[in-house]
Homo-oligomer: A and B are copies of this chain.
Amino acid sequence: MQKPYVPSVNLSVINARLERITTIQQVLIDQIRVMETMTTLDFMEFRDFLVPASGFQSVQFRLVEATLGIKPHHRMEVEKQFFISRLNTQDRARLAEAESKVSIFELLEAWLSRMPFGQYEDYDFWSEYSAAVAKMLDQDFKIISSNPGLDERMRAMELKNLEMTRETFITLLDGEKFSALYEQGKVKLTQKAMLSAVFIFLYRDYPALQMPFKILNSLVEVDEKFTTWRYRHAIMVQRILGAKIGTGGSSGHEYLKSTTERNRVFLDLFHLATYLIPKEMIPQLPPAVKSQLDIVYDSSRL
């Protein structure tokens, strides 16, 4: 994806590799069950031999995180002190090198940013989308306002939620507001990249977008499997150690749990569902745009 243009055949290979990665991740998750066959009593017998090392210090784990896109400024201060400070000089250098390279996240950002979708000479897709969103939200407003099953407190709450949803859409489409979010670190993708991703999600069924859609989904899957691994690992540690301290002096479970949801690289992709709208409200693309996304065979031959 570093090249200016990725041939569509290569997208297929990229996705196949990502699917292999998530398959491997699933095996890594499943094999936690093997560690779980070890009882606390088994573990206590050799625990002392591990001090002061700790599984949290695995440099390989950090290398994978860095390759995906976690940079030093994403990590909590305590995390850096606690783990990275314990690496030896050579491993620190390896990690620094991995962190300085272009990450998968950065490749994704560049690829999405240069996509041509949504920008057409005589068709303003995003104002069509904006109109569709407004229509959807007005409809929701009516449903909530007139729903006899809601008492006043619930109705007020739902209407407040609706306004928040409206604000979310406005932010997506407003360059300045989105930049503000980006500056605050609340999103990681730029608006340009985000809009391409939304377009891909909306029109995923066209041949040109099927593989990009699968790639976005596979990246979310990589993230989720990482999260699931951390969660299952934390549960395993708690079950074996209880509230005891781990080797390496870490109060195991609590730390692990705090990192379960953090360090997600592709969270913006995970949240894409936020920007979808009902199928029948999605703007119909004009034929000229459609033809760029579709492959149509001469029906007389089919």
Contact = CB atoms under 8 A, between A and B. Distances in A.
A249 B157 contact: yes
Given A207-B8, A295-B292, A16 B34 contact: no
A186 B154 CA distance: 33
Copies in the complex: 4
A5 to B, nearest CB: 4
A264 to B, nearest CB: 12
Contacts of A242: 271-276
Interface of A: 4-5, 7-9, 12-13, 16, 19-20, 23-24, 26-27, 30-31, 33-34, 36-42, 44-45, 47-48, 51-52, 114-116, 139-140, 143-144, 147, 149-150, 154, 157-158, 161-162, 165, 168, 201, 204-208, 210-211, 220, 224, 231, 235, 238-245, 249, 251, 270-280, 282, 292-299, 301-302
24 contacts: A4-B302, A8-B295, A9-B206, A12-B204, A24-B34, A40-B201, A41-B276, A42-B279, A48-B140, A52-B150, A52-B154, A115-B302, A116-B297, A116-B301, A157-B249, A161-B245, A161-B251, A165-B245, A168-B243, A207-B207, A207-B211, A243-B271, A293-B295, A295-B295
